[in-house]
């Protein structure tokens, strides 16, 4: 079937379906990254929030050629940022407002929930194998967020060499979560072996080891099998730290989406 016909068929898909099509093979990956199709999605999302800017109107006037001249995946990533709310300056302005009583930024919980920010932990063993775990629960207080990882089969602690905490923002597309694109920021990276860590509390069931950066590991009593992980994240600049603390190895820049 000619590529033009396939592109015509793909133009009827929603953004989530079009993105998932890229996993079929290299041919469909190339077709599904067509700049003009993603530009149409971008304009649609952009117009929901405000009128098209002069730049958008200029590009629209240029037609297909002007849109296609943009770098590969440019409009796809621009569309993802619009859907995720990263192109809206409202939260960036409001999150800077300081509460006079606590000295912390206002509306932190509101913006974390509206942007659907979550956190993940990635552990690495001595052979370089990496395992990533999504959070189980998050509880908000006036000054901090308490994030828990439980009901997870963790690798043996004595085989782990490092632990990384990531802030994660996924694009709310209508596709399976494991394939959903997004951005990942490394907030903390801790060595687990050969470092001095503090055993903070112990009872008849579990013992807890504080490894730094607000991260505490819970172990079953009389063994070093991880039962749960708990992280205390202070609200000070938490939105910025969760989004921009550093650049994940899975993306070359913040403007790029990871898969």
Angle between helices 74-84 and 35-49 (to 10 degrees): 30
Which pLDDT value is given to residue 254? 39
Q: Are 138 and 146 in contact (CB under 8 A)?
A: yes
pTM listed for this prediction: 0.76
Compute the chain's Rg from CA coordinates.
22
- Is 162's pLDDT higher than 90? yes
CA-CA distance, 258 to 167, in Å (whole number)? 13
* Tens of pLDDT, residues 23-48: 899 999 999 998 889 998 988 887 77
Average pLDDT, the chain: 82
CA-CA distance, 162 to 50, in Å (whole number)? 45
- Is 204's pLDDT higher than 90? no
SS3 175: coil
Q: DSSP letter string over 31-77?
A: HHT-HHHHHHHHHHHHHHHSPPPHHHHHHHHHHHHHHHTSPTTHHHH
CA distances, 134 to each of 107, 124, 153, 251, 253 (Å):
24, 15, 12, 19, 22
Which pLDDT value is given to residue 249? 36
Confidence of residue 224 (pLDDT cuts 50, 70, 90): confident
* Tens of pLDDT, residues 236-258: 889 888 987 654 434 433 334 55
- pLDDT over 70, % of the chain: 78
Domains and CATH numbers, the chain: 3-84 (1.20.1280), 103-244 (no CATH)
Burial (CB count within 10 angstroms: exposed 0-12, middle 13-18, buried 19+), residue 254 = middle
Confidence of residue 60 (pLDDT cuts 50, 70, 90): low
Which pLDDT value is given to residue 214? 93
Question: Helix, strand, coil % (nearest 5) of the chain?
Answer: 35, 30, 35
* Tens of pLDDT, residues 88-138: 555 555 556 666 666 666 778 888 888 889 999 999 999 999 999 999 999
CA-CA distance, 105 to 25, in Å (whole number)? 46
Which pLDDT value is given to residue 233? 95
């Amino acid at each position: 079937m000619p590529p033009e016909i396939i592109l015509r068929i793909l133009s009827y898909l929603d953004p989530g379906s079009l993105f998932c099509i890229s996993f079929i093979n290299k041919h469909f990956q190339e077709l599904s990254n067509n700049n003009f199709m993603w530009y149409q999605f971008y304009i649609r999302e952009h117009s929901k929030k405000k009128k098209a800017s002069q730049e958008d109107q200029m590009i629209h006037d240029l037609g297909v050629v002007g849109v296609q001249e943009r770098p590969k995946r440019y409009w796809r990533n621009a569309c993802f940022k619009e859907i995720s709310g990263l192109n809206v300056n409202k939260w960036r302005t409001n999150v800077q407002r300081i509460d006079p009583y606590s000295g912390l930024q206002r509306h932190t919980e509101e913006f974390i929930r509206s942007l659907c920010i979550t956190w993940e932990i990635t552990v690495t063993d001595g052979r370089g194998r990496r395992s990533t775990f999504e959070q189980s629960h998050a509880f908000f207080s006036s000054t901090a967020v308490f994030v828990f990882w439980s009901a997870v089969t963790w690798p043996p602690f004595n085989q782990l060499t490092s632990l990384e905490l990531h802030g994660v923002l996924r694009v709310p597309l209508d596709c399976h979560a494991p394939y959903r694109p997004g951005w990942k920021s490394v907030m903390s990276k801790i060595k687990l072996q050969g470092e001095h860590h503090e055993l903070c509390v112990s009872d008849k069931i579990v013992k807890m080891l504080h490894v730094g950066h607000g991260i505490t590991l819970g172990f079953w009593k009389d063994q070093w099998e991880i039962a749960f992980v708990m992280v205390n994240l202070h609200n000070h600049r938490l939105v910025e730290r969760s989004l921009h603390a550093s650049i994940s190895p899975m993306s070359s820049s913040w403007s790029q989406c990871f898969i």
